[in-house]
Amino acid sequence: MKSKVYILYTGGTFGMKNTGGNGLQPSTWEEIIDYLPAIKNQTFFHYFSEINFTFETLEPVIDSSDITPEIWERIAHKVKDNYENHDGFIILHGTDTLAYTASALSFIFQNLTKPVVLTGAQLPIFHPRTDGIVNLSNAIYIAGYKSFDLVRIPEVCICFNDDVLRGNRAVKTSTNDFEGFSSPNFQNLANLEQHILVNEHLLYRTSTEEKFGLKTKFSDSVVNVTVFPGYNPKQLIELVKSKKIEGIVLKTFGAGNLPTSESWHTLISECESTNTLILATTQCPNGKIELGQYESSKVLNNSIVTDGKDITSEAALTKLMWVIGNFNIPERRAILSQNLRGEIT
C-alpha cells in the first residue's frame, strides 16, 4: 500500500561538511542530494517506490546545539501543516539535543496518531562509513509503515542504529558509537534487525478521539540543578526568593536523597511561598526515585515537589518548561505529576 512520508531536514552531523576548515557545519539539502548519487538519481528512493516523499528544509540549517523552544514550535507547525496529507514524519536533526527535541515534541503534540521519527547520524553522509544512510532508511520504514505492512508507531520516537526508542525516554549516551542513544528505563519500541519487530504492547496510544493539535509554549524560567557532595543551595534560595524562576529540576542523589542540612528545608519552604515547582529526579541513569525511603529524602515530601520517578533529564526539563508555559499555577503540579506521553513508569 502507498504511504506518504514527510521529511524535514534541520541540520546536524547527518549533513555536515568541514568546508572552510572551521569545523563541521551543516550543508544544504541540495548539497546532500548532489553528493549522493543514490539520492540524486532517485535510486535510493526508488527502492522505496511505494512511498511518496515530501522534502523540506527548516531554514537556517543548524548544529543542534542552537536548538531553541522557538525552533521546536516551528518544527511542530511543519508537522501540523502536513499532518492530514501524510502517514508519517521524519525529522533529520543533530544528535546533541535530539533527545530534548524528541521530548519537547512529545509534549507539544496533542492526540498524535501518526509516527514522528527523529534521526540523525554520528558520521556525515559525505563520509564513506556514514551511519546516516542506515538511520534514514530505517526511519523511512517506521514512518512509511503502511508500505511495509508494519505496525504503526503513533509516537514521537528516535530511530538510531537499528533501535526505535520512545523519544521522551531516550538519552544520548555516546559521542561516537553508532549506538548513540539508549533508553535506560524503557524497552525499545522496535528493533530493526534482519526483520523488523515492533513491540506493539509497549506503544503509547492517545486515549481520546480528539483532533491532532499543538500546545507549543515553553517557559525559560527554569533551572536544572545537580546536587553534589557539599553543595549548599544558598544561591538557589536567593534565586527563588527573587521570583526570577518558576521551576527547578532537582537532580538528587540515588533514590531522591539530599544532604540533611537545614538549608534544604529553607529552599523547600521558599519554593512553597513563591509557587516555584520542584521536579525531583535522580542522577542515576537507571532506576527511579523513591521519596521517603531514606531519611535524607524526607525534606522532599512537600506539596511543591513532584516525584519525577524514572524520568530522563531531557524529558524532565522539557516537561517542566512546557507545563509552566501552558498552564496556570493552580493546575501545574497535577499535570506535572501525570504520565502524559509514556515518559514515566
State which of positions 149-178 bind ligand ASP (CB under 6 A): none
Of the candidates 270, 247, 239, the one whose C-alpha atom is nearest the C-alpha of residue 327 is 247
15 DSSP 8-state letter: G
Residue 65 or 194 with smaller CB distance to ligand ASP: 65
Which residue's CB comes closest to ligand ASP? 94
d(CA 229, CA 193): 44
Name the residue nearer to ligand ASP (CB basis): 13 or 282: 13
Task: Please report how close the Cβ of residue 76 comes to ligand ASP at its closest, in angstroms.
Answer: 19
Q: Is 58 in the site for ligand ASP (CB under 6 A)?
A: no
Exactly one of 31, 36, 56, 63 binds ligand ASP (CB under 6 A); that residue is 63
Among 120, 154, 233, 256, binds ligand ASP (CB under 6 A): 120
C-alpha cell at 61: 540549517
Q: Return the residue matching grid coordinates 511495509.
A: 148
CB of 14 to ligand ASP, least distance (A): 6
Using the rule CB under 6 A, which residue among 64, 106, 188, 281 binds ligand ASP? 64
Q: Cα–Cα distance between 100 and 170 in angstroms, integer?
A: 9
Nearer to ligand ASP, 122 or 312 (CB): 122
> Would you state the cell numbers that stand for residue 201, as one nine-digit string?
504492547
Which lies closer to ligand ASP via its Cβ, residue 159 or residue 304?
A: 159
Sole binder of ligand ASP in the list 31, 96, 162, 290 (CB under 6 A): 96
The reply to whether 123 sits near ligand ASP by the rule CB under 6 A is no
How many residues sit in the footprint of ligand ASP (CB under 6 A)? 11
How far apart are alpha carbons 155 and 157 in whole angstroms? 6
What is the C-alpha separation between 312 and 304, in angstroms, rounded? 20
The answer to whether 148 and 141 are in contact (CB under 8 A) is yes
Answer yes or no whether residue 281 interacts with ligand ASP by CB under 6 A: no
Buried residues in 71-81 as b, exposed as e (16+ CB within 10 A): bbbebbebbee
Other beta carbons less than 10 A from residue 28's beta carbon: 15
Q: Which of residues 8-27 bind ligand ASP (CB under 6 A)?
A: 11-13
Q: Which is nearer to ligand ASP, 270 or 314 (CB)?
A: 314
Q: Phi and psi at residue 9, in whole multiples of 5°?
A: -95, 125
- Classify residue 113 by its DSSP letter: -
74 or 217: whose CB is closer to ligand ASP?
A: 74
* From 89-97, 104-112, 185-193, 290-298, span contacting ligand ASP (CB under 6 A): 89-97
What single-letter amino acid sits at 136? L
Point out which residues bind ligand ASP (CB under 6 A).
Answer: 11-13, 63-65, 94-96, 120, 122
